[in-house]
């Protein structure tokens, strides 16, 4: 155990901080502290430009191997980067699905040709990806995917037909990774494929879904014989479930560091507000602010503790526990923000429905306990997989 950063990590910190100071300004001044949880829909074009800016300077995908344009940054360096990024008010990363989910999955499971085709554009910040898992009948029961993939021998392409739903940022993405059924006879986890699909084609229709925030960040996506080349399936037909699950493992890994830094910024905003509006004199709110701080620090320590023991930057059993902890913590933070705001928490900034950042954060935290595996599903996983308790019958589709 050694709970401090090395001299070279501190030098790296200075390098990151200087770069951000010199570059997160001018045309990018307006997006500082924007695009975080509940604010994903805002400043999309500016944030895409920012991704490319980061990419040019080698500040995307810093944990990736050097062979794929990364810096092979150590966990410590990634921690430092995320700390400095948040401190500088770095905007929500619109490229995060590519960088933290698709990229690592390809590096681990993709073919050489796939890596060459897709990784550079993720690294440079040019390609935005979205996640096509959920369907109307496949939410918690993700394996109940009905979207079909049919192989056309002659043309050597897959035809994808079906519907995805709740697809975040689909309308801003060039690519979508899609879980679809390659074997029409198979049920559940079997007979699935994992496809990388170009969104810019006639077979793809995207319809935004309005959220209770009045904004749209997620979509319905319809595939009508959308074309996917034979080379764009990760793993073999039938191995889609394994790839899809491996990808979720990365979701719980090192990518959580950046998220915690955003939480830290939100927490600081709430404390500042409490000091300004006098909520800091309320003994009950003071206790809740202390609780929030304790939870936030626990999450940091625990992530660092667990990452210290892993080479890949992936979390194992502990990772399952993390989603439940942060989503519940964040939901409480959202309520705390509203209680600190007081009577004005119900007043909008402008018509027709412009929420301020804390208000949208509060509402968004109600989704945190749902997406990426609901709290109920997480508890089942912890009890059954981490603790080894007897399995609850899941129903017909097992």
Ligand X SMILES: Cc1cc2nc3c(=O)[nH]c(=O)nc-3n(C[C@H](O)[C@H](O)[C@H](O)COP(=O)(O)OP(=O)(O)OC[C@H]3O[C@@H](n4cnc5c(N)ncnc54)[C@H](O)[C@@H]3O)c2cc1C
Alpha-helix runs per DSSP H in 57-158: 75-87, 96, 103-109, 112-123
Tell the smallest beta-carbon distance from residue 384 to another protein (Å): 12
Binders in 277-296 for another protein, by CB under 8 A: 282, 284-285
Interacting residue with another protein among 49, 108, 150, 338 (CB under 8 A): 338
Query: Is the separation of the CB atoms in 171 and 210 below 8 Å?
Result: no
Select which of 76, 84, 217, 251 is catalytic: 251
Phi-psi region of 250 (alpha: psi -120 to 50; beta: other; left: phi over 0): alpha
Q: Which residues of 209-222 are buried (b: 16+ CB within 10 A; e: fewer)?
A: eebebebebbbbbb
Handedness of CA 249, 253, 255, 256 (dihedral sign): positive
Contact between 44 and 92 (Cβ < 8 Å): no
251 is catalytic: yes
Rounded distance between C-alpha atoms, residue 130 and residue 322, angstroms: 23
Residue 325 binds which entry of ligand X, another protein, none, with Cβ cut-offs from 5 to 8 Å by kind?
A: none
- DSSP-assigned letters across all residues of 10-24: HHHHHHHHHHHHHHS
Q: Of the candidates 59, 218, 241, 263, which one interacts with ligand X according to CB under 6 A?
A: 218
End-to-end CA distance of the chain: 43
Q: 100-139: which residues touch another protein (CB under 8 A)?
A: 134, 137, 139
Number of residues binding to ligand X, judged by CB under 6 A: 20
326 lies in the binding site for ligand X (CB under 6 A): no
Residue 355, interface with another protein (CB under 8 A)? yes
Closest CA to 181 of 219, 221, 135: 135
Distance CA 313, CA 320 (A): 14
> Residue 119 touches which of ligand X, another protein, none (CB < 5 to 8 A by kind)?
none
Number of residues binding to another protein, judged by CB under 8 A: 50
Q: Which stretch binds another protein (CB under 8 A): 119-127, 224-232, 246-254, 344-352?
A: 344-352
Binding residues vs ligand X (CB under 6 A): 130-134, 139-140, 166-168, 218, 367, 370-372, 374, 376-377, 380, 394
Binding residues vs another protein (CB under 8 A): 134, 137, 139-141, 144, 165-166, 209-212, 214, 218, 282, 284-285, 331, 335, 338-339, 342-348, 350-353, 355, 359, 366-367, 369-371, 374-376, 379-380, 392, 394-398
- The catalytic residues are 251
């Amino acid at each position: 155990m050694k709970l401090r950063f090395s001299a070279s990590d501190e030098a790296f910190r200075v390098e990151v901080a200087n770069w951000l100071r010199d570059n997160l300004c001018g045309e990018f001044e307006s997006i500082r502290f924007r695009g975080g949880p509940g604010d994903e829909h805002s400043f999309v074009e500016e944030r895409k430009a920012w991704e490319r800016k980061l990419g040019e300077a080698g500040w995307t995908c810093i944990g990736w191997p050097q062979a794929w344009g990364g810096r092979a940054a150590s966990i410590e360096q990634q921690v430092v980067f995320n700390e400095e990024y948040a401190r500088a008010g770095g905007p929500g990363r619109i490229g995060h699905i590519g960088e933290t989910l698709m990229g690592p999955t390809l590096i681990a499971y993709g073919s050489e040709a796939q890596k060459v085709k897709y990784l550079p554009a993720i690294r440079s910040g040019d390609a935005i990806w979205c996640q096509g898992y959920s369907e109307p009948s496949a939410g918690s029961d993700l394996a109940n995917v009905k979207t079909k993939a049919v192989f056309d021998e002659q043309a050597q392409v897959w035809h994808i037909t079906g519907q995805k739903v709740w697809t975040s940022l689909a309308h801003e993405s060039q690519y979508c990774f899609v879980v679809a059924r390659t074997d029409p006879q198979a049920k559940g986890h079997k007979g699935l494929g994992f496809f990388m699909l170009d969104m810019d084609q006639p077979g793809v229709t995207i319809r935004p879904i309005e959220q209770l925030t009045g904004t749209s960040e997620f979509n319905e996506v319809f595939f009508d014989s959308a074309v996917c080349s034979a080379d764009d399936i990760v793993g073999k037909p039938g191995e889609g479930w394994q790839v899809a699950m491996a990808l979720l493992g990365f979701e719980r890994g090192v990518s959580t560091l950046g998220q915690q830094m955003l939480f830290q910024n939100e927490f600081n905003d709430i404390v500042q507000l409490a000091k300004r509006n006098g909520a800091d004199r309320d003994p009950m709110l003071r206790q809740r602010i202390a609780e929030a701080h304790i939870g936030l620090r626990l999450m940091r320590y625990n992530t660092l503790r667990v990452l210290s023991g892993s080479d890949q930057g992936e979390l194992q059993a502990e990772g399952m526990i993390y989603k439940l902890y942060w989503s519940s913590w964040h939901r409480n933070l959202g309520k705390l923000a509203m209680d600190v705001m007081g009577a004005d928490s119900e007043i909008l900034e402008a018509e027709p429905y412009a929420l301020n950042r804390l208000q949208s954060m509060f509402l968004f935290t109600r989704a945190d306990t749902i997406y990426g595996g609901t709290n109920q599903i997480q508890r089942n996983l912890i009890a059954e997989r981490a603790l080894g308790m007897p399995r609850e019958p899941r129903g017909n589709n097992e």
